[in-house]
A and B are shown apart, each in its own frame.
Chain A
Amino acid sequence: MRMLPVLSRLAWRYLWRNHRRTIVMLSAISVGAWAMIFMTALTRGMVDQMIADGISVIPGHVQVHNPDYLDDPSVNNRIALTDAELEQRFGEAGFAAWASRVRVPAVITSERESRGVTLLGIDPDAERAFSFVDYDKVDGRFLEGPDDNGVVIGAKLAETLETTVGKRIVLMSQDPDNEIADRGFRVVGLFHANMDVYEETYAFIGKRTAQKMLRIGDTVSELVFVGSDYRNVEPVYEKVSAAVDDSVKVSRWTEVDTYLGTMLGVMDGFMLIWVIVIFLALSFGLVNTLVMAVFERVREIGLMLALGMKPMSILGQIIIESMMLLAVGLLIGDVLAYVTVKPLESGVDISIVAKGMEMFGASSILYPKLYMDDVILSNVVVLVLGFLASLSPAWRASRYEPVEAITKV
């Protein structure tokens, strides 16, 4: 540590001795760092949105079901707890948001067309905070409570059924006795979603209305819990698990929607690979810069050794030089990334390719996300790999024999 000030001063001065070379290398590192973070922000934004949309549509962060429900989501596989019991267990437990739903497959029929849908019987107030439907942007109105007798369907489904607000449709499913359970509803609202598939798939009715139609008393199909961060659902998972017994199955969203869960893992891995690939391209320039920097001051290294500097200090000096070069380049790259990503966080229209993106569950507006964790990851990876890349030239420099180095021309 005693040597750090003198080594740092020497490293900094040597860095700027050949300022053109240093500026070229700094530019390469800055652009590389910017590219890493910018691409990561774009990818992260896309994945976040896909996951956030996916979670808000179906799983929440943690779900509770009858153990057989995920294999057979029929009305028979309900949770054997009443609304009152659920309220008692979870009402005051301090979750950011939670809701109980009736969720069954159903057929919706207009006077012209029929389609298979997922029928959701919900309490609209309980789901407002995390629903993918913006209640205020519904054509007509959204459900006003669990006893609402209307139905809200997607605008795309309405188009397919050739129906609209004010018209009547019939919803048909099965009751627990495997008898047809059907009922006519008036369409009170058409909701809009980021993706057509959501508008085509879901039909919302009041929870108690659904319970009456399906003749299931006051039981439900699923419970949905939402925490503060979809990446860390363990606290919610543990809290919910502690409040229920073996008669139900508690699942994280990654288990309910394995596609989204896998996507998250793949994207994290992809980003690390992306950072490493960019660094590998940079490392050739970095090593070349250090080799040249060492080569052009062999005599001075010999002099320092002759004056009593230890070989390890020479090694440290070259590594500090490399770290300074990388740190300055990364700092510039980070600032560049910040000023280019921040203005885009309000959304980038990628509608030209959005049809293709929808196949992956992404919408036509991309919201790049600059996460401090991603910036730290790319910086740390570059610094660690840069340190390793610097070891070879630094080691060579520290191995010089003073008497040979000092007489080098």
Chain B
Amino acid sequence: MTAVRCVDICKTYRQGDQDIKALDHLSVEIQKGEFVCLMSPSGGGKTTLLNAIGGLDIPDSGEVWVADKRIDQMSKGELADLRLANIGFVFQAYNLIPVLTAQENIEFVMQVQGVPTARRREKSLAILEEVGLTGLESRRPAAMSGGQQQRVAVARAIVSRPALVLADEPTANLDSKTADELMELFKELNEHHNTTFVIATHDQRVMRYAKRIIRMRDGRIVDDIEQNAA
């Protein structure tokens, strides 16, 4: 079953008086339950592709399908609903809401989804334990280390068990041990809950966990290989 399908998508940005082709007639299909790594040099288009799949950025042309719905023609409200119900995001920078505590950040998506308070509390405490942050529930992001913040962001992305998790350099600011723990968590979710992961990364540690590696350059796919994951 197809989780993501991109058909001939193009995206061009204007930088000064220069046009930059971030995605150049790119087509890709990702099946449900896959664990995919997108690799490219800086400016190769992997973040743009993640944004297009997540409905954060609309391609200039082509089609993007997520959960069997064409999303490149959806309204902002429909895209918000799609992201809320189907997609978990982990961004490169920590991107927590600074005025909320760790637990409130984790509960944020569930609260927007309308999950009852008791259920939210239960799930957020469980995921905090899962990512090793028990005892830090009441801390605000400013009072946490970079690694702790990233784990909160990951916990927020996966707590409502989305079908698809999009992660942009999730280990960029983590030490090796925390990065390994995070990838183990992703692996477990992938294997036990059949969650689809699409991760944009440079990190060799992450690539070891991927079952499929897509290499990009100048907005095109130059290599698409499957491997035995760690």
Contact = CB atoms under 8 A, between A and B. Distances in A.
B56 A310 contact: no
Nearest to B114: A2
A328 interface: no
B57 interface: yes
B97 A303 contact: yes
A10 interface: yes
Contacts of B98: 17, 300
A307 B111 contact: no
Contacts of A308: 80-81, 83-85, 87, 109, 112-113
B31 interface: no
B89 interface: yes
B50 to A, nearest CB: 10
B111 A306 contact: no
A5 interface: yes
Interface in A274-315: 299-300, 303-313
A3 interface: yes
A361 B81 CA distance: 66
Tell me if A's interface is mostly helix, strand, loop or mixed.
Answer: helix
B99 A14 contact: yes
B67 interface: no
A303 B100 CA distance: 13
A13 B99 contact: yes
Nearest to B94: A303
A313 B95 CA distance: 19
A178 B62 CA distance: 105
Given A6-B111, A403-B56, A406-B91, A307 B76 contact: no
Interface in A1-28: 2-3, 5-6, 9-10, 13-14, 17
Contacts of B91: 303, 306, 406
B77 interface: yes
A402 B56 contact: yes
B134 to A, nearest CB: 23
B65 interface: no
Interface in B100-116: 100, 104, 108-109, 111-114
Interface in B67-97: 76-77, 80-81, 83-85, 87, 89, 91, 95, 97
B97 A10 contact: yes
B54 interface: yes
Nearest to B113: A308
B61 interface: no
Contacts of A402: 56
Interface size class on chain A is 20 to 34
A311 B80 contact: yes
A23 B155 CA distance: 35
A299 B95 contact: yes
A403 B51 contact: yes
Given A403-B56, A406-B91, A306 B99 contact: no
B99 A17 contact: yes
A313 B114 CA distance: 14
A403 B57 contact: yes
Contacts of B99: 10, 13-14, 17
A310 B77 contact: yes
Interface in A138-178: none
A309 B111 CA distance: 10
Nearest to A398: B76
Contact of B54 (A2, A14, A306, A309): A306
A311 B113 CA distance: 15
Nearest to B88: A307
Nearest to B104: A9
A307 B77 contact: no
A306 B56 contact: yes
B2 to A, nearest CB: 22
A384 to B, nearest CB: 27
A299 B56 CA distance: 13
A311 B114 contact: no
A313 B112 CA distance: 10
Nearest to A402: B56
Contact of B109 (A14, A307, A312, A406): A307
Nearest to B140: A13
Contacts of B100: 9-10, 13
A310 B85 CA distance: 13
Given A10-B99, A299-B95, A300-B97, A307 B56 contact: no
B113 to A, nearest CB: 8
Given A309-B80, A312-B77, 13 more contacts: A6-B111, A13-B99, A303-B97, A305-B80, A306-B56, A306-B89, A308-B83, A308-B112, A309-B112, A310-B76, A311-B80, A313-B112, A406-B91
29 contacts: A2-B114, A5-B111, A6-B111, A10-B99, A10-B100, A13-B99, A13-B100, A299-B95, A303-B91, A303-B95, A304-B108, A306-B54, A306-B56, A306-B91, A307-B83, A307-B84, A307-B112, A307-B156, A308-B81, A308-B87, A309-B80, A309-B84, A311-B76, A311-B77, A311-B80, A401-B57, A402-B56, A403-B51, A403-B57
Interface of B: 51, 54, 56-57, 76-77, 80-81, 83-85, 87, 89, 91, 95, 97-100, 104, 108-109, 111-114, 156
Interchain residue pairs A-B with the least CB separation, the first 10: A308-B84, A13-B99, A403-B56, A308-B83, A403-B57, A6-B111, A310-B80, A402-B56, A303-B95, A2-B114
